[in-house]
Amino acid sequence: MNAPARKLSCTYAEYLEQERASPTKHEFLGGEIFAMAGGTPEHARLAARVTVALGAQLTRRPCDVFSSDLRVRVLATGLATYPDVSVVCGQLARDPEDKDAVVNPLVLIEVLSDSSEAYDRGEKFAHYRRIPSLREYVLVSQAHRRIEVFRRNEDSSWTLHEAGPGERVRLASIDGALDVDEIYGGVLETPAAG
């Protein structure tokens, strides 16, 4: 998690008031507000390509793909955050305290960066696992052509499925897939053999 924007404890209502007036996004957890780091052009491009790919696959389904402008709230832990890409199927379930936050994503996607990778894989994923509707958590590497999908099993355990160059990774919860070469085309140059 990024450094707190302020150290004093605040309520969720105070966080929302500050968030509405702020030009930058912040996470909220346990009374603390944390500034979210800005992304690189590569990060933005990868998130956009995932959004476009999923949007094209879901055009005739009752699912919507959202950018990082959508706030997601984990009711069990209180975390409010902005995943890079979210998929919600069916009606949006909104946070009772925050009409602009949803609580029922089916798929959450984070593009990894050096500064966020440990948090996205660890503490943030621990929060996300507490979302009852969540079925898949996708990590898109910025350093390598690799997409990882953590899929919730019937017993609530999670299984990793990953894909690299020339491969596709399945998103079972939405009957879709992400093609690694399509997502990374021109973003990360493949080293020349030799």
For 45-94, the pLDDT digits (tens) are 999 999 999 999 999 999 999 999 999 999 999 999 999 999 999 999 99
Which residue type, as a one-letter code, is found at position 184? Y
Domain residue limits, the chain:
1-36, 40-184
With tokens 């621990």, the residue in question is: 126
Residue 53 CA to residue 161 CA, distance in Å, equals: 19
Q: Residue 117's pLDDT is what?
A: 94
| Percentage with pLDDT > 90 across the chain | 84
**β-sheet bridge partners, residue 136:** 107, 151
Let me know: does 177 contact 132? Beta carbons within 8 Å.
no
> Looking at residue 26, what DSSP letter applies?
E
* Per-residue pLDDT reduced to its tens digit, 15-25: 999 999 998 99
Q: Please give the pLDDT value at position 189.
A: 56
**Look-up of token digits 């009711």:** 75
Biggest CA–CA distance in the chain, Å, is 58
Average of per-residue pLDDT across 5-14: 76
* Least confident window among 37-51, 81-95, 120-134, 169-183: 37-51
Q: Which two tokens stand for residue 156?
A: 């609530």
- What does the pLDDT read at residue 191? 46
Q: From the CB of residue 49, how many other CB atoms can be counted at a distance below 10 Å?
A: 21
Average pLDDT over residues 27-33: 94
For the domain made up of 40-184, the CATH class stated in words is: alpha beta
